Structure 1
Amino acid sequence: MAAIPLTRMGPDLLGAKGVPGSYWPCRSPLFSPDLHREELADLLADPLAATALAPLWRIGPANAADRATRMVMEASALAGWTVLVRELGETWLFDLAGAAQENGGNWPRKSTRKRLTGYERRLAQEGEVSWLQISGADWSAKVLEQLGRIEADSWVGKTTDGSGAKFLTPAQRARWQTALSDPVIADALSATILLLHARPIAFSFDLRSGDKQYAIAGSYAEDMAGFRVGKIVTCRQLEGALAQGVRLVDLGSGDSGYKREMGAVCGPALFDLLIVRQRKAALLLARNWGHEPADLRQMTLASPHRVDLPLPSLKHIAAAAALAGTAVVVAE
């Protein structure tokens, strides 16, 4: 029926768990294709399942358009759990196939291609320009180190603590190396790397699933920004994706203007879900975590599985408050 992998999160006292994932967008429970919402609700309401799932468990970032995400929200509410939603923004979607069709099957359009050619010509005046297209068996520790070198030379490596990077440290690269040991994942992931005099200066890191692609990360050396190397590598990657049959590109959340400029539009929201067994604990967590959607609230109140559970002990309330960032004052 369902596979819900879990790992511990937060203070040990709380006993909270979360659904892990190598990286967005692959963070979701797995359900049988013919599973119905009511069947999942029965499973989640079972005392053994409730014990295995812990007092509260988290899924996120989760795509609001994902059928599994919506099903777990609705089934959890029917099973008497409270679902809290923290909104993380919207994704941006780019209809690559549609954009190409509007230009006679080619992308980018002629005016954009002309500008890119100018950028590439200027860059070539600085030295030898070359490319690496990495996927499948081409992945190696050396490739990941090249991606890390680009991040080290980028604004992320120079002006932040590096926690937002993907390949900067050996520990960050090791996580991807583990994922890439699976040949299916290695085939799905790709890196397009731009080099100048054999120095890696920009990359695009993407995941392809069928005719859809997810833009996982991209970066470029800060001293090369004037040559628009970020745009050059993005367009080179998308040209290759179109040739491989990619029709829709999910560019993730956040936009500094370049996504709209290339024709992307707002897509589904990204949620961070906290699913809480104790109603009173959920009310406390909601103050800092996020709201409970109205339709799910009505579903919870009308649930055939609704059970008035005893008030959790002080230590569990304190632990839940700590996870939510709420200060706890105790009057003796």
Structure 2
Amino acid sequence: MNALSSIAPPDLRDEVNALAEADDPRRAFLRACWFEASDDPSLQTHIARDLQGRPLLALPLVAKSVGPLKIPQIAGAYWPFRGAPIDPTTSVEELASALADHTVARELGPAWRLGPAIADDPSLLLLREAAAQAGWHCLERQISSLFCLDLVALRASGSWPSTKGKQKDRWRVRQLEKTGPVRMETFTGCDWTAATRDAIAAIEAASWVGQLDRGGDTKFHDPELRRYWERAAQDPVIAAMIRGHILWVGETPAAFTFGLEAGDTRYCIANNFDQQFNKFSPGRVLLYHDFEDAADRGFARIDWGLGDGGYKGPMGAHEDASVIDLLFVRNPVVARIAAYFWQRGG
């Protein structure tokens, strides 16, 4: 019969990793270590299987609060997105049959959450269609829209970056050099050190985000998020996907970029700069360096996440797919009631 198997994560890593490797290459980071890196004791990883026991879908779930309720949620970092690794060769009918099994329903409970997710992700569309056939009611709310750079089209245009923009950036570097020598350091998850992460944390602390109440959304100044990325990089496959740059002015780290690379896409997860250098825009200088480096290495697109199109647009970004938050509810009456609160951010 179709069933959902729940096993201690170390015992099913190979299956989760195999599903991630079979999935869309842009989702290749959705490996066992990606989910385990949250170090959440409530993590339970389930595998939905077909009649022959072949893994179709991994559901690594952690218990999170939604309003007054505890709801299982797909684990992993918020960015670039949350996802459940899936075998894309499976049919909707096969996956629906697995998700409709009474054992699956009992393990998943009355509701479970997946988000943020990219609305037009083919693997997500397959999961949604199968879940609907299996009797799950999918409640959707929009978070925002992605901003992306089509590196192939921008390079083909012959005008990106613009001549004027390049001249301006060379001028900015000359101004920064009056304070100290400017250099750009590249790191990956395979060769970064504690000193690398300390430098990023120092930039975040000195940035406008770091000055916000509660420290804002920082990836390395926040010790818990820093530990997440350090744990994720213990998987050498994920480590090889991590790549970023630091712009130094003398001995001071002035700006950084940090991202993840999967398939033809570089996910720009974080970038910022030390406010003391604000006048000469080290963050902008480094971002162009980052984007051109990705294009030179054959990446087709930059996924720049959400945010202010006012500064992303002039650098070549365009508004792309919607980013959504999904709640799967089993009972149709409960789903109708929950929909009202879900749309209002409940």
TM-score, normalised by the number of residues in structure 2: 0.80
Percent of paired sites with the same residue? 35
How big is each residue's C-alpha offset from its partner over 1:131-155, in whole Å with a ceiling of 9 and x where there is no partner? Answer: 2100142212221111111110011
2:246–2:255 contact (8 Å) kept in structure 1? yes
2:203–2:273 contact (8 Å) kept in structure 1? yes
1:25–1:63 contact (8 Å) kept in structure 2? no
How big is each residue's C-alpha offset from its partner over 1:276-302, in whole Å with a ceiling of 9 and x where there is no partner? Answer: 1122222222112129xxxxxxxxxxx
1:15 positional shift: 5.1
Would you say how many aligned residue pairs link Structure 1 and Structure 2? 291
Given the alignment, which residue of 258, 266, 270 partners 1:213? 266
Alignment of 1:1-332 (within 5 A): 1-10=56-65, 14=69, 16-103=71-158, 107-290=160-343, 325=346
Letter in 2 for 1:127: G
RMSD: 1.9
Whole-angstrom distance in 2 between the partners of 1:216 and 1:15: 28
Higher Cα Rg: structure 1 or 2? 1
- Structure 2 gaps of 5+ residues are 1-55
Regions of 4+ moved over 4 Å: 11-15
Whole-angstrom distance in 2 between the partners of 1:113 and 1:241: 17
Whole-angstrom distance in 2 between the partners of 1:289 and 1:13: 13
2:256–2:271 contact (8 Å) kept in structure 1? yes
1:320 match: none
Letter in 1 for 2:228: R
Letter in 2 for 1:186: A
How big is each residue's C-alpha offset from its partner over 1:62-106, in whole Å with a ceiling of 9 and x where there is no partner? Answer: 0112112112222222111111101011111211122112218xx
Q: Which has the higher contact order (CA 8 A, sep 6+)?
A: 1
Whole-angstrom distance in 2 between the partners of 1:234 and 1:199: 18
1:15–1:55 contact (8 Å) kept in structure 2? no
Whole-angstrom distance in 2 between the partners of 1:26 and 1:270: 9
1:302 match: none
Letter in 1 for 2:285: I
2:52 match: none
TM-score, normalised by the number of residues in structure 1: 0.83
How big is each residue's C-alpha offset from its partner over 1:141-193, in whole Å with a ceiling of 9 and x where there is no partner? Answer: 22111111111001111123124111113222111100111111111111110
Whole-angstrom distance in 2 between the partners of 1:200 and 1:238: 19
Whole-angstrom distance in 1 between the partners of 2:342 and 2:327: 8
Whole-angstrom distance in 1 between the partners of 2:66 and 2:270: 30
